[in-house]
Amino acid sequence: MEQKIIFHIDVNSAYLSWEAVRRLKNGSDVDLRLIPSAVGGDREKRHGIILAKSPAAKSFGIYTSEPIVSALKKCPQLKLVSPDFTLYQDNSRKFMEILKRYAPVVEQYSIDEAFADMTGTTQLYGSYRKAAETIKNVIFDELGFTVNIGISTNKLLAKMASDFEKPNKIHTLFPEEISKKMWPLPVGNLFLVGESAKKRLNSLGIFTIGDLANADPNYVRQHLKKHGEVIYQYANGNGETELVCSESDNKGYSNEITLSDDVQDAETAKLVLLSLCETVCSRLRKDKKKAGCISVKITYATFQNRVHQYTLPTLTNVTGEVAAISYQLFDQMWDGNTPIRLLGISAQKILEGTLRQYNLFDLDKYEKQEKLDAAIDKIRGKYGETSITRACFMKKEK
């Protein structure tokens, strides 16, 4: 039986790259990827958080989810650009279309990452490295941005390989290369080992991935429970090989986002969900439509996808109402520990019109929320998306 070959393809600094490419095509002489820049909130109002940053911005100590006001103190010359989810989704779609030209099976892991099963394609491309070079070059020639590609026999090792030196690189990490390429790395570099797990492992005398791989698994499990079992397997290169090829549901109004750093607390996750709800609900209201079903999607750092949905008793396009439902769905799904790579919101069962079946208890509350949303839409329509910001997006800045 032929050995499995999995590619992990990761867009370099996706949000910044996509914005930079658009600006360069429109005549800009500044490449955002080469200067201290970030995708985030409003520079003038000093509101919001950092969603993505350039390598130059990272050198100033700026990190994803950091408040804008804090980032500007570190780097006053930081160039801030507002997020544009329509741009991201368009580039993501084109990115995936190219991958599907070359790979028999493609599994989208997030808006800017995918796995591709390239098993048995050497007759077409000559070698797996040549196939990776072809894919990388076609993406750059047609779309203008660069990617890293990791090559191995399973998802874990392919993803670890793609995280080696960046940008615009191809790396392999086959099982026989683990001891040389992966084991010498700090244990914090291992996929799914966050800051708290790293500190715990260090306290146990485990400082490299090799230390973890060669530790007593019972000892690791004793101190890190189920999570310890998972990362022990990862340190030894054991990961999934099968890809799930699934088409996204485009029947409703949806939005999703992947932060460059995994989300590991409910408060941050719910702020992201609220931001997504604002975008989806504003589009519904603009089109004079309402949704009868809301779904929340989570992509975990462990490569697993989960989706929960809720059918509404009454149609809605009110941001607060949709956000409250998304929080409930999120709480039902998340175990409170597993890092989250992607969050998405989808509004389905769309109907046109303004009618709503009220009940005695929600009439006054709903009308107030409708008026609030209408006022926010009007202000943003006149003065821009960042002209009015919810207080919850600002509280970390105080």
**Cα–Cα distance, 191 to 202 (Å, whole number):** 16
**Cα–Cα distance, 239 to 229 (Å, whole number):** 12
Look at residue 179 and give its three-state secondary structure: helix
Backbone angles phi, psi at 361, to 5 degrees: -95, -20
**Cα–Cα distance, 236 to 234 (Å, whole number):** 5
Q: Give me the active site residues, please.
A: 113
Contacts of 198 (CB under 8 A, 6+ apart): 186, 187, 188
Residue with tokens 């009454």: 314
Residue-wise DSSP of 283-301 = HHHHTTEEEEEEEEEEEET
Q: Which helix (H) or strand (E) holds 124?
A: helix 122-125
Are 149 and 162 in contact by the 8 Å Cβ rule? The answer is: yes
**Cα–Cα distance, 338 to 124 (Å, whole number):** 39
Mapping DSSP onto H, E and C, the string for 6-52 reads EEEEEECCHHHHHHHHHHHHCCCCCCHHHCCEEECCECCCCECECCE
**Cα–Cα distance, 89 to 357 (Å, whole number):** 34
